[in-house]
Amino acid sequence: MYLPEHEIVNASRAYPKPDTQADLLASNCFRMGLVAALRSLSLDGAAIGLMVTASHNPEPDNGIKMVDSMGQMLAPEWEPLCTSVANAATEDELFRTLRHIIDTFGLDSTIQPHVVYAWDSRPSSPALVDAIRAGLHALGATSTEGGLLTTPQLHYLVLSINTRHTPRPFGEPTEQGYYRKLANAYMAVAGDRRAPPLVVDCANGVGTRSLQGLLAALPPHTLNITALRTAVGERGQLNHGCGADYVKSQQRLPQGYENESAVQPGTLLCSFDGDADRIVFYYLTGPASDPASFHLLDGDKIASLAADYLSDLVKTTELPLQLGCVQTAYANGASTAYLQAKVPITCTKTGVKHLHHAAEQYDVGVYFEANGHGTVLFSPHASVQMEMAAKQADGAKAAALHELLTLAVLINQTVGDAVSDMLLVLVILAARGWDARAWDASYTDLPNRLAKVSVPDRTVFQTTDAERRLTSPANVQAQIDELVRTVPSGRAFVRPSGTEDCVRVYAEAATSEDAERLVRKVSELVSSSA
């Protein structure tokens, strides 16, 4: 493949590798534009996605996510290539790194690469999108501008574009096509069943537009939804005192909710994050001003609700399909015990890419991190089996097969999607005839605490068993085990952060006091062992 060195070097000079961390993103976005174009070439010109967002992080932060051709996360073998391109210190080193990728994969210059890009509502996003465009232009890539979208919508667009000429297109490759697909699937699966009223905290992010687009695609009054925190694009508002991460980490309502008339005891509430790929639910048992009335329904509760309901449907079909659930060490022990009585469970390292891969090993794989990031995967084998069985089934089997096949359309199987997951929960609650209290009553979470311990070198702490046990420093795990044995229903683990020089500590126990004491003692042990 011919590589336009002069074009790349000149363009790269406008986005030099900086000396300070604060200026790093423009250079990285330019370079990821180059990598995305090469990734597209390696797949014969299939569309690749680039999303400018920092998800649940504060508004001043920003970042970039790359979406592979089937709407999934980037292939693991390309992750180190992205790192080497981002770290190239000079234009010459950058060019040599790109040349190495081209030679390694034998890329064909007669194919034109295609990249789809979009961004969230952060003030820094437009300048970073300009850097992406410059990278794409330098390699002569054709591009599709998605505009202001959620991360799941970009995943949807990439897969829809790449399957539009196949016998099984994923969907109409437009933003409106996304809304129509979800709306039609929801109406088909919900039927006459009415979902409970819902109040949605949109985190002042692009999830606001996504929710509004969905509601516009549904017949009037199909859903009783009140949208709050909808100040898209207003400086300082994104994820500020609201959003899924705030609610989950603070274990409390978004700021100012005590003044919202729609926030009433017993009403189901939920929060998106900034780019709408996470969702958590919650409700009140008393006044909003009383912290004790707050009850969280997080990713563990969503996974349990989905796995329980889908397992019943699979059993009704009488097909030999294996449904399983994937969790991380952060899953509450009560949720694990509840699920183990119903379905197989796999535990993986923290990180959605690990959960997604594990879920693919099941015919129907349910995965959610406790933070509310997750989805349900239906394998191609399962889909074919259900479609074939549906042609001959009747009665309860036919109804279960129809519902499963429709849910496979409703659920965004490429990535966690707050809007799609919201609809899944509403469908199940409507079918069960449950409100927030009835859902929460399925099991009671063990009290738990999280802590962060700053350390000089986090790499000293090495883990095994899906990050649930330490292998080093020596003897620390044995001391943690001894501390755990001192409290009823105790469990604790520590793991090094992937981004900061700190160690994260998780503890749970039968009482809040014991959980608090356990996390403090384990944190002290970590600090003294660093």
Answer for the pair 29, 131: CB distance below 8 angstroms, yes or no.
yes
C-alpha distance from residue 426 to each of 87, 121, 335 (Å): 45, 27, 20
Q: What is the DSSP string of 8-61?
A: HHHHHHTSPPPSSGGGHHHHHHHHHHHHHHHHHHHTTT-EEEEEE--TTS-TT-
d(CA 455, CA 314): 48
| DSSP summary character for residue 410 | H
Annotated binding site for Mg(2+): 55, 273, 275, 277
Q: What values do phi and psi take at 366, rounded to 5?
A: -100, 125
d(CA 175, CA 146): 8
Strand-strand pairing, 294-297 and 268-272 = unpaired
Calculate the dihedral angle through the C-alpha atoms of 482, 486, 490, 492, rounding to the nearest 10 degrees.
Answer: -40
Tokens of 484: 């755990």
Q: How many residues does the chain have?
A: 530
- Residue with the two structure tokens 């080193």: 93
d(CA 178, CA 186): 12
Answer for the pair 221, 291: CB distance below 8 angstroms, yes or no.
no
Annotated binding site for substrate: 369-371, 495-499, 504
Q: Closest by alpha carbon to 483, among 513, 507, 467?
A: 507
Burial of 276 per CB tally in 10 Å (0-12, 13-18, 19+): buried
Q: What values do phi and psi take at 112, rounded to 5?
A: -95, 125
Q: Closest by alpha carbon to 64, among 86, 39, 94?
A: 86
Answer for the pair 62, 23: CB distance below 8 angstroms, yes or no.
no
Q: Is 522 left (phi over 0), alpha (psi -120 to 50) or beta?
A: alpha
Count the Cβ atoms, other than its own, within 10 Å of residue 243: 28
- Residue with the two structure tokens 């465009």: 133
- The enclosing H or E element of 182 equals helix 175-190
d(CA 188, CA 428): 13
Burial of 44 per CB tally in 10 Å (0-12, 13-18, 19+): exposed
Catalytic residue flag (residue 55): yes
Of 27, 40, 55, 304, catalytic: 55
Answer for the pair 254, 243: CB distance below 8 angstroms, yes or no.
yes
Q: What values do phi and psi take at 67, rounded to 5?
A: -115, 130
Task: Determine the 3-state secondary structure of 122 from DSSP.
Answer: coil
- Residue with the two structure tokens 């508004």: 59
| DSSP summary character for residue 493 | E
d(CA 317, CA 214): 31
Catalytic residues: 55
